[in-house]
Amino acid sequence: MKWEDTGRSKNLEDRRASGPGRAAVPLGIGGVLVILALSLITGTDLFSTLGLSPSASQTQTPPNQAELQAQEPEVRFVSFVLDDVQAYWAAVFQASNLQYTDAKLVLYRDAVQTACGLAPASTGPFYCPGDTTVYLDLSFFDELSQRLGAPGDFAEAYVIAHELGHHVQDLLGALASGQSSSQSVATELQADCYAGVWASSAESRGVMERGDLQEGLTAASSVGDDTLAKRAGRVPNQETFTHGSSAQRTQWFGAGYKTGDPSACATL
């Protein structure tokens, strides 16, 4: 990506040096009740399978200044993407005579307190509608690159754009709690499509470079429910999907990219 270091975003909050806490699954979209219900339906402890625990504690070791400084280029990149994506959506909303309110993005380490509950880093990046904030542990990008096989800065940008897609849904009143599995999948696929729409804009403005699109598609595929199930040694079961298959996620990210039109993201 051709990105510019403009410093830290005014909408970024750094909590990486915060003290330890007791980690729990966030009670946002999906949440504990959905995972519990799916566990009962499938006969599988999905909390353990997904590496989540609503009561397990995690010991945090606050990073020293050298560690924080080493991550500063990554922080600046996250800031750039955060501001670029939100500037795009602000313009889209304005063109439709709607008001766009910026989301916040919190960087944390190991576990974080949110309006949706306490969350461990194993939850992955997520958007909490209770405080209109995206939460991100930078170690997820290592996971994305090394374990999930989706390296590259645009793969990381896709993740941020996807979570901000949930903020767009929230502002439009399309983000509901207590969703069924099928509703959850539709919500996630629309966020993928919104990420693709932003990618289309980024390309038109010269932000994207050769290979970036493939990085985004690879990232979308790597976090498909079927792919994650196979990596965990389980047989994929479409009835338990919450985010969509790899094919669905790449399809909808691609649809947003090809059309550059948010109205093409009618998954709900």
| 193 domain-assigned | yes
Domain carrying residue 67: 12-264
For residue 19, the model assigns a pLDDT of 52
pLDDT confidence of residue 32: 43
Q: In what order do the strands lie in the sheet with 126-128?
A: 12-14, 104-108, 133-137, 126-128
**What is the pLDDT at residue 266?**
94
Query: What pLDDT is recorded for position 27?
Result: 40
- In single-letter form, the type of residue at position 187 comes to T
Looking at the domain assignment, is residue 1 inside a domain?
Answer: no
**Is position 2 within any domain?**
no
> Which of 206, 132, 122, 208 lies closest to 175 in space, CA to CA?
132
> Is 3 a member of any domain?
no
Q: Which tokens hold the place of 126? A: 């997520």
What is the gyration radius of the CA atoms in the chain, in angstroms? 18
Model pLDDT, residue 61: 61
List the pLDDT tens digit at each of the 268 positions of the chain. Answer: 999 999 999 999 999 987 544 444 444 444 444 544 454 444 454 444 444 444 334 444 667 788 899 999 999 999 999 999 999 999 999 999 999 999 999 999 999 999 999 999 988 999 999 999 999 999 999 999 999 999 999 999 999 999 999 999 999 999 877 778 889 999 999 999 999 999 999 999 999 999 999 999 999 999 999 999 998 898 988 878 889 999 999 999 999 999 999 999 999 8
Please tell me the distance from the alpha carbon of residue 194 to that of residue 26, in angstroms, as a whole number: 23
Report pTM. Answer: 0.84
In-domain check, residue 106? yes
Q: What is the 3-state secondary structure (H, E, C) of the chain?
A: CCCCCCCCCCCEEECCCCCCECCCCCCCCCHHHHHHHHHHHHCCCHHHHCCCCCCCCECCCCCCHHHHHHCHHHHHHHHHHHHHHHHHHHHHHHHCCCCCCCCEEEEECCEEEECCEEEEHHHCCEEECCCCEEEEECHHHHHHHHHCCCCCHHHHHHHHHHHHHHHHHHHCCCCCCCCCHHHHHHHHHHHHHHHHHHHHHHHHCCCCCCCHHHHHHHHHHHCCHHHHHHHCCCCCCHHHCCCCCHHHHHHHHHHHHHHCCHHHCCCC
Work out how many domains the chain is built from and give that number. Answer: 1
